[in-house]
């Protein structure tokens, strides 16, 4: 339901912060952290002062919006990571990421080769106090590639590797999605959701992008050092794009080709729209566009959702979604 009387509030360390002027929130989604940017007028408490800004540090931050300025819905929980003070305008701009940042910033050196992907996900969820919504898997990490080369194949054993990178790689290998919503770590196949019908009247702006030069076939190539054999697996047919993956078995190479082809097809037809704000929409939602009386009428899956609240626009959201193949 669109917000007729939009309002928002922000809590820093559990305390409400006054003087909010504008807010922008990138909703978290599969393989992607949520982000926010909030503009505040500076002043006396409960507003921000210059001294308070200097003392904040990395603080827990909660952002909420309301349909009636009475009941509020949480858009994002995370941390304020940067504060910019515009001295002439007397405003402070706070920005940061959602709690996915805890895993993005956590470097690891474990290989986990004797654990399954789901066991790794459970371990990482427990480290950060996240509620696990994890689909159990059976293959051990070392089986994705030759065990002797697991560290190379999964980019492990390096301080440049993080928990989030590992979860994303494991999710890709299993054909899963990984995301954090609220305090829940989601690791599993894409879940189906009900289809929401939208007409042209629901959009303030609407563009549909067609990508006409997209390859139709994916070929995954690898050299298995232990067995001294070349591996090649394909998916699709037509113009080919080649992907080189180190030290994988044929099964994983085939899965990789299928997954990459599926990802590429998501770029064939993209919906980019601006709508009135709606707190019920989220990444993964299904939209059925109707009313164009053309091939543009299709079912689209939301991949990116950015909320914006300010005096000029009110509460609006920018939606990006791909057409279901």
What would the pLDDT profile of 143-168 be if each residue is shown by its tens digit? 765 443 444 445 444 444 899 999 99
Helix (H), strand (E) at residue 72: strand 72-86
Cβ count within 10 A of residue 321: 27
CA distance 229 to 139: 22
Measure the N-to-C terminal CA separation of the chain; round to a whole number of Å.
Answer: 28
The reported pLDDT for the residue numbered 287 is 95
The reported pLDDT for the residue numbered 90 is 94
Do residues 60 and 14 touch, judged by C-beta distance below 8 A? yes
Point out the residues of the chain with pLDDT beneath 50.
1-3, 146-153, 155-160
What b-and-e string marks burial along 12-43, b requiring 16 or more CB atoms within 10 Å of the CB?
beeeebebbebbbbbbbbeebbbbbbbbbebe
Do residues 137 and 174 touch, judged by C-beta distance below 8 A? yes
CA distance 45 to 163: 38
Do residues 197 and 290 touch, judged by C-beta distance below 8 A? yes
Listed in sequence order, the residues at least 6 apart from 261 whose beta carbon sits closer than 8 Å to its beta carbon are 217, 218, 235, 236
CA angle 49, 42, 56 (to 5 degrees): 40
The reported pLDDT for the residue numbered 145 is 55
The reported pLDDT for the residue numbered 164 is 96
The reported pLDDT for the residue numbered 111 is 75
The reported pLDDT for the residue numbered 5 is 67
CA distance 321 to 285: 9
Tokens representing 270? 């993209």
The reported pLDDT for the residue numbered 144 is 66
CA distance 7 to 9: 7
Tokens representing 237? 């047919």
DSSP structure string for 178-203: EEEETTEEEEESPPP-PEEEEEGGGE
CA distance 34 to 263: 21
The shares of helix, strand and coil residues in the chain, as percent rounded to the nearest 5, are: 20, 45, 35
Listed in sequence order, the residues at least 6 apart from 88 whose beta carbon sits closer than 8 Å to its beta carbon are none
195-199 and 286-290 strand pairing: parallel
Do residues 77 and 55 touch, judged by C-beta distance below 8 A? no
What b-and-e string marks burial along 148-167, b requiring 16 or more CB atoms within 10 Å of the CB?
ebbbebbebeeeebbbbbbb
Residue 198's nearest CA partner among 307, 299, 269, 303 is 299
Largest CA-CA distance found in the chain, in angstroms, rounded: 70
Task: Indicate the pTM of the whole model.
Answer: 0.85
């Amino acid at each position: 339901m669109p917000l007729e009387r939009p309002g928002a509030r922000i809590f820093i360390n559990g305390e409400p912060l006054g003087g909010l002027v504008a807010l922008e929130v990138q909703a978290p989604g599969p393989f992607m952290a949520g982000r926010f940017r909030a503009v505040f007028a500076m002043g006396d408490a409960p507003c921000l002062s210059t001294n308070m800004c200097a003392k904040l540090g990395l603080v827990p931050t909660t952002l909420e919006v309301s349909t009636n300025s009475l009941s509020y819905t949480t858009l994002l929980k995370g941390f304020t990571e940067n504060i910019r003070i515009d001295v002439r305008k007397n405003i402070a701009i706070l920005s940061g990421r959602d709690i996915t940042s805890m895993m993005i910033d956590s470097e690891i050196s474990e290989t986990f080769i004797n654990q399954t992907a789901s066991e790794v996900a459970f371990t990482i969820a427990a480290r950060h106090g996240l509620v696990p919504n994890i689909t159990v898997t059976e293959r051990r990490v070392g089986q994705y590639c030759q065990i002797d080369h697991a560290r190379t194949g999964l980019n492990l054993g390096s301080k440049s590797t993080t928990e989030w990178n590992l979860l994303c790689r494991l999710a890709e290998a299993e054909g899963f999605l990984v995301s954090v919503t609220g305090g829940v770590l989601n690791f599993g196949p894409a879940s189906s959701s009900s289809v929401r019908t939208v007409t042209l009247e629901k959009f303030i702006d609407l563009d549909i992008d067609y990508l006409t030069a997209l390859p139709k076939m994916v070929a995954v190539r690898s050299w298995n050092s232990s067995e001294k054999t070349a591996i090649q697996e394909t998916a699709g047919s037509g113009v080919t794009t080649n992907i080189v993956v180190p030290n994988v078995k044929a099964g994983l190479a085939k899965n990789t080709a299928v997954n990459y082809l599926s990802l590429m097809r998501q770029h064939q037809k993209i919906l980019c729209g601006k709508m009135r704000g709606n707190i019920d929409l989220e990444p993964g939602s299904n939209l059925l566009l109707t009313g164009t009386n053309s091939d543009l009428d299709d079912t689209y899956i939301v991949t990116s959702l950015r909320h914006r609240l300010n005096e000029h626009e009110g509460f609006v959201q920018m939606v990006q979604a791909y057409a279901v193949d």
